[in-house]
Amino acid sequence: MSDEADEIAERKMQFLFALRSKGVTDARVLTAMEKVDRGPFIRGYFAERAYEDMPLPIACGQTISQPSVVGLMTQALRVTNRDKVLEVGTGSGYQAAILSLLARRVYTVDRHKRLVQDASEIFRALDLTNIIALTADGSFGLPDQAPFDRIIVTAAAEDPPGPLLAQLKIGGIMVVPVGQSDAVQRLIRVTRLESGFDYDELRPVRFVPLVEGLGRDG
């Protein structure tokens, strides 16, 4: 192998080791994260830090989550290859790209039109044909496409949003950060049962807030 190939292989090995050390142990999730290069999803000044386990700023005042949090959220979602998934908060598109390798179909929505356009370009370049990216107010979900087997929210709400809970199938799972400030947030897994909802508290996290309405560029 060339020096460059050696460097890439070493970087990928360190990346996967970092994921495992933070608790990402699901083999399907690790395989998907090995296949999806985080590099194309980060542009400009921070591109060289794409392989570090840290959140990074992207356009429209948003962030791309650190890979270990993406992995833990994906793992908590327990996605199967039969599932239709809704992602609220497209952001860079990185999370949706990973989900696309695990699910039957992924609908991803963001309030910022620019982010949806940029992510859609990357999805096309990577030939990820089972992702549908839309500019929409994600706090209301996608009623026209409901119900969903899985819902993942990549922004923090004060409580799991009612419209999203209503769009979850019986037996479906939603993973969402919940908290009133960026200092105190918990990652919650919600499972919809015949009799109501079951809540599991998973870990502390820090996300941008879930905001209603479209962004100024949308």
**Per-residue exposure over 93-121, b if at least 16 CB sit within 10 Å of its own CB, e if not:** bbbbbbbbbbbebbbbbbbbbebbebbbe
- Residue 198: strand, helix, or coil: strand
Residue carrying structure tokens 């050696």: 6
Clarify whether 92 is annotated catalytic.
Answer: no
* Active-site residue (options: 21, 65, 92, 139): 65
DSSP assignment letter at 66: P
Q: Which pair of structure tokens corresponds to residue 101?
A: 């390798």
Q: Which residues pair with 188 in a beta bridge?
A: 176, 201
Name the residues annotated as catalytic.
65
